[in-house]
Amino acid sequence: MKDVKCECGHVNPHGTILCEACGRILEEHEREKQLVDMRYEGSARRSQTYNKTIVDKIWNFFSSVKVGVWLIVITLIASALGTIFPQEMYIPPVMPAEVYYEDQYGWLGKLYYELGFHNLYSSWWYLLLVASIGISLVICSLDRVIPLYRALKAQRVTRHEGFLKRQRLFGISAAENLEESYEKVKEKLREKRYHIREEDGNILAEKGRFSRWGPYVNHIGLIIFLIGGMLRFVPGMYVDEVMWIREGETKVIPETDGEYYLKNDQFILEVYDKNKDKEVFSEAIENSGMVAKNFQSDVTLYKKKGDSIAGEKPELEKVKDDEIRVNEPLRFENFALYQSTYKLNELNKMTFALTNKQTNEEFGMLTVDLNDPKEKYDLGNGYSVEVVSYFPDFEFDESGEPVTKSRIPNNPAFVFKMLTPDKPEGEVSFVAIRQTIEPFGDNTYKMAFKGIDTKNVSGLTVRKDLTLWIISLGGLIFMIGVAQGSYWNHRRIWIRKVNDEVWVAGHTNKNWHGLKREISIILENTGINEPEDQVQNENKESGGS
Amino acid sequence: MKKKRLMIRAVILLLLGAAVAYTLYANFTKDDVQKAVVGEKAPDFVLEDMNGKKHRLSDYEGQGVLLNFWGTWCKPCEKEMPYLNNQYKQFKDKGVTILAVNVAESELAIQKFADRHNLEFPILKDTDSQVMTAYKIGPLPATYMIDKEGKIVKYHTGQLTEDMIKDLMEQVKP
């Protein structure tokens, strides 16, 4: 576990491949290669030898790029699987999830549910995958950026011959008029905005080193992004709820601690009209029949005045009237209410007439408020109707009994008792939509259906997101990192006198063609030969033979 | 050097591990957030019963309360109603009462249901879902046990058996 001292005197950490200062090859097996691996400057980035303790083992696991890539691939596959069937939060609340998936998608759906894919994005293993990517990002970056920084900081102007020789761009020229050539070269390097360092007549020209930090800046952005995502789980930071509100109804807005109330004055659904709207729309209207133009809820926002406890009629103060349209939410404090869904024509009232079945004579009408029916409706002249039972969302259960599926009047049914002067004990009739049952034999009277009154219901999304700025900041830093790493290149040119020769080597982290062109311009008319591309030459040779 | 490296790595891993653990914990408890929390004071409310009498939760301090949220369409609610009724009779003189909050149904539906099951305990009408929202009620039935200091000692969702109810009510007996 000792540090490695190079011939040049520089002390390198254990595991270093190329001396940080002079570039001499420290690892025996690297010597056999024609070119050195310049990734991370040959620094000691992953010391497999530090593999003694559990901490090192965990560290080395996450430090592997291979592991990181696999984590990303697995997460991608899992995320894709989650989109095959709708997630639990998006399935209609008609039946429990365990029934719904099998009912809709058969055995595949059942499997989907049992494997927990119905709630994939908040399952522990999915979160663990994302978290592992985060950990991998942090550790991979730390394990590479610190040695890289050290190596780039420690690099000397004079590089070891074995290092120069094994650079991709390398060439040897005879040294004539060296003084003059050097001046020309330096001038041109300066023109190209190279940073020049000199030592014993050797030159290191470097530019764009900061582009090497691009990937790490990018990772910092990603980590901030992930932290933003994590903060969504912190209470009070993020709210995303659906609120159903009928026309005319006033309701407390969830997650506002009972502070704010909303009244739905009206829900509007507008469609394009062939005759009224511009002609350009007419074809689309013809093709698809009905095209929605606007979904809108006219609402009034109230704030509770003073203290009241839940259930007490609160004293409300009007804040404002607003029209909520798609993408035009109602905003207050940190909340936004979005128009997200609707239900047209929910049954609200039903009107019946007490009628003699034979003569069709009517003895008065009654209107039942389906959200608050009365027990008894007096029609005068000794005629009255009692509601014996009411099923707002009626169906027959397994034993054939009428039951209600919910409290929403989707399919109302009644058991009426009709009291008339000639039938003082009353006649019982079961009345549902398009269905009448007379359980105790043939009745003289019936409840004739006269009409309905409906209301629209708005579905609003209540949203609050205090993490958005963190997520945006992460995204911005991410993009800065991307730009930094892709629009700039880290280029280095070494010029070294070796006996009577001039050795030139070049390295860039990307865009070799650009570096070659730049070197060719710099060395033009200086008497120093352009270095050759050893990778290209090798390819040519092997291609030719 | 080696010691230092081990320390730094251990600290970084611990920090990352703590962040992950917190995220997982927060994710699994997020549905309970802001809901009336076990161990804390039950949010106060005032609601009318079927006879128009007002019941304020804080007025019941000094006795135990079984607070049940239910709906007439909910099968498990219906199943546990007779048990609740029996235990109500047993415990009413022992300082434990039952308050059954119906979630925003029509008076008629509640009345017919109460008549059918001969329910004796007070049934409170949460007409505009305010109390339901304050307690963040999800699936029904939902039952809270509140002790004589007004603190929630237990929360249960799903159908209760008569033994469970008896046991719960014993727990909050003053």
- Name every chain B residue with its beta carbon within 8 A of the beta carbon of A310: 43-46, 130-131, 133-134
pLDDT digits (tens, 9 = 90+) for A138-167: 999 998 898 899 889 989 999 998 899 899
Q: How many CB atoms lie within 10 A of CB A225?
A: 20
Lowest mean pLDDT among A30-34, A537-541, B68-72: A537-541
Could you tell me which CATH number the domain at B35-171 has? Answer: 3.40.30.10
Q: Note whether B46 contacts A309, CB cutoff 8 Å.
A: yes
What is the rounded CA–CA span in Å between residue B141 and residue A93?
17
What does DSSP say about strands B142-146 and B152-157: parallel, antiparallel, or unpaired? antiparallel
Residue B88, min C-alpha distance to chain A (Å): 24
What is the rounded CA–CA span in Å between residue A443 and residue A415?
14
Q: Note whether A258 contacts B133, CB cutoff 8 Å.
A: yes
Mean pLDDT of all residues in A288-298? 85
**Model confidence at B101: pLDDT above 80:** yes
Residue B135, min C-alpha distance to chain A (Å): 10
pLDDT of residue A192: 92
**Model confidence at A545: pLDDT above 60:** no
* % of chain A exceeding 90 in pLDDT: 34
Amino acid at A157: V
Q: Does A231 touch chain B (CB under 8 A)?
A: no
Confidence of residue B35 (pLDDT cuts 50, 70, 90): low
* DSSP code of residue A249: -
Better pLDDT: A488 or A31: A488
Q: Within 13 Å and on the Cβ side, how many CA atoms surround A151?
A: 25
- Name every chain B residue with its beta carbon within 8 A of the beta carbon of A230: 19, 22-23
**Model confidence at A504: pLDDT above 90:** yes
Partner residue opposite B106 with nearest CB, options A1, A235, A373: A373
Main-chain dihedrals φ then ψ at residue A330, nearest 5 degrees? -85, 125
Q: Note whether A310 contacts B33, CB cutoff 8 Å.
A: no
Report the candidate in B45, B35, B130, B55 with the shortest Cα–Cα distance to residue B98. Answer: B55
Report the candidate in A434, A428, A390 with the shortest Cα–Cα distance to residue A412. Answer: A390
User: Is the preceding peptide bond at B141 cis, omega within 30 degrees of 0?
Assistant: yes
Question: C-alpha B120: how far from its chain's center?
Answer: 20
Lowest mean pLDDT among A210-214, A504-508, A532-536: A532-536
* DSSP code of residue B95: T
Main-chain dihedrals φ then ψ at residue A90, nearest 5 degrees? -105, 0
Please report which residue ranges of A38-96 form alpha helices under DSSP H. Answer: 54-63, 65-81
Q: Are A394 and A432 in contact (CB under 8 A)?
A: yes
Q: Which residues of B46-63 are buried (b: 16+ CB within 10 A; e: fewer)?
A: bbbbeeeeebebeebbeb
Q: Within 13 Å and on the Cβ side, how many CA atoms surround A294?
A: 11
Interface of A with B in 52-111 (CB under 8 A): 53, 55-56, 58-59
Tell me the β-bridge partners of A18.
Answer: A25
- Name every chain B residue with its beta carbon within 8 A of the beta carbon of A411: none
Q: Are B156 and B143 in contact (CB under 8 A)?
A: yes
Report the candidate in A34, A166, A171 with the shortest Cα–Cα distance to residue A503. Answer: A171
**Model confidence at A48: pLDDT above 60:** no
* % of chain A exceeding 70 in pLDDT: 96
**Model confidence at B83: pLDDT above 60:** yes
Q: Give every CB contact of residue B171 below 8 A, 6+ residues apart in sequence.
A: B64, B145, B147, B153, B154
Q: Note whether A310 contacts B133, CB cutoff 8 Å.
A: yes
Q: Are B145 and B139 in contact (CB under 8 A)?
A: no
Tokens coding A129: 């995958």
| CA end-to-end distance (rounded Å), chain A | 46
What is the rounded CA–CA span in Å between residue B159 and residue B162?
10
Mean pLDDT of all residues in A491-496? 94
**Model confidence at A452: pLDDT above 80:** yes
Q: Note whether A122 contacts B27, CB cutoff 8 Å.
A: yes
Mutation pick from B22, B27, B136 vs chain A, by most beta carbons of A within 10 Å, is B27
- Name every chain B residue with its beta carbon within 8 A of the beta carbon of A138: 12, 16
Q: Note whether A124 contacts B24, CB cutoff 8 Å.
A: yes
Confidence of residue B2 (pLDDT cuts 50, 70, 90): low
* % of chain B exceeding 90 in pLDDT: 17
pLDDT of residue A490: 95
For chain A, domain boundaries: 1-37, 45-153, 159-208+489-544, 248-262+296-450
CA dihedral (A5, A11, A17, A20) positive or negative: negative
Question: In terms of CA atoms, which chain B residue is nearest residue A403?
Answer: B73
Residue B122, min C-alpha distance to chain A (Å): 15
| HEC sequence for A130-171 | HHHHHHHHHHHHHHHHHHHHHHHHHCCCCCCHHHHHCCCEEE
Report the candidate in A333, A337, A256, A326 with the shortest Cα–Cα distance to residue A299. Answer: A337
pLDDT digits (tens, 9 = 90+) for A199-251: 888 999 999 999 999 999 999 999 999 999 888 888 788 888 888 898 988 88
At A426 the three-state DSSP class reads: strand
Partner residue opposite A389 with nearest CB, options B2, B112, B133: B112
- Name every chain B residue with its beta carbon within 8 A of the beta carbon of A387: 108
Lowest mean pLDDT among A67-71, A399-403, A455-459: A399-403
pLDDT digits (tens, 9 = 90+) for B114-171: 888 898 899 999 887 888 888 878 778 889 999 988 889 888 888 889 999 898 888 8
What does DSSP say about strands A195-199 and A202-207: parallel, antiparallel, or unpaired? antiparallel
Check whether domain A159-208+489-544 has CATH 3.40.980.10, yes or no: no
Report the candidate in A366, A442, A447, A434 with the shortest Cα–Cα distance to residue A394. Answer: A434
ipTM for the predicted complex comes to: 0.73
pLDDT of residue A94: 63
Spatial strand order of the sheet with A423-432 comes to A376-380, A383-391, A413-420, A423-432, A435-437
Q: Note whether B106 contacts A1, CB cutoff 8 Å.
A: no
Mean pLDDT of all residues in A431-450? 84
- Name every chain A residue with its beta carbon within 8 A of the beta carbon of B129: 251-252
What is the rounded CA–CA span in Å between residue B154 and residue B173?
13
Q: Give every CB contact of residue B36 below 8 A, 6+ residues apart in sequence.
A: B42, B43, B134, B135, B136, B144, B152, B155
Better pLDDT: A363 or A284: A363
Q: Note whether A252 contacts B104, CB cutoff 8 Å.
A: no
pLDDT digits (tens, 9 = 90+) for B102-111: 988 888 888 8
Q: Are A265 and A276 in contact (CB under 8 A)?
A: no
Question: In terms of CA atoms, which chain A residue is nearest residue B45?
Answer: A310
Q: Which residues of A394-417 are buried (b: 16+ CB within 10 A; e: fewer)?
A: beeeeeeebbbbbbbbbbbbbbbb
**Model confidence at A72: pLDDT above 70:** yes
- Name every chain B residue with its beta carbon within 8 A of the beta carbon of A147: none
Q: Are A422 and A444 in contact (CB under 8 A)?
A: yes
Tokens coding B5: 């490296």
pLDDT of residue B33: 47
Amino acid at A191: E
Interface of A with B in 347-406 (CB under 8 A): 371-375, 387-390, 392-393, 403-406
Q: How many CB atoms lie within 10 A of CB A180?
A: 11
- Name every chain B residue with its beta carbon within 8 A of the beta carbon of A1: 1-2
- Name every chain A residue with its beta carbon within 8 A of the beta carbon of B34: 235, 255
Confidence of residue A120 (pLDDT cuts 50, 70, 90): confident
Residue B77, min C-alpha distance to chain A (Å): 13
Partner residue opposite A405 with nearest CB, options B22, B73, B105: B73
pLDDT of residue A544: 42
pLDDT of residue A176: 76
- Name every chain B residue with its beta carbon within 8 A of the beta carbon of A402: none
pLDDT of residue B74: 85
Mean pLDDT estimate for chain A? 87
pLDDT of residue A518: 93
pLDDT digits (tens, 9 = 90+) for A311-351: 777 888 999 999 999 999 999 989 999 998 888 888 889 99
Q: How many CB atoms lie within 10 A of CB A84?
A: 12
pLDDT of residue B14: 92
Q: Note whether B16 contacts A138, CB cutoff 8 Å.
A: yes
Interface of B with A in 78-97 (CB under 8 A): none
Which H or E run includes B170? helix B162-171
**Model confidence at A67: pLDDT above 90:** yes
What is the rounded CA–CA span in Å between residue A197 and residue A215?
26
Question: In terms of CA atoms, which chain B residue is nearest residue A136?
Answer: B16
pLDDT of residue B31: 57
Mean pLDDT of all residues in A452-460? 90
Residue B99, min C-alpha distance to chain A (Å): 14
Query: Angle CA(B77)–CA(B78)–CA(B79) in degrees, nearest 5?
Result: 90
pLDDT of residue B1: 58
Q: Note whether A310 contacts B56, CB cutoff 8 Å.
A: no
Q: Note whether A251 contacts B129, CB cutoff 8 Å.
A: yes
* DSSP code of residue A529: P
Q: Note whether B43 contacts A310, CB cutoff 8 Å.
A: yes
Q: Are B152 and B35 in contact (CB under 8 A)?
A: no
Mean pLDDT of all residues in A431-453? 84
Question: In terms of CA atoms, which chain B residue is nearest residue A239?
Answer: B30
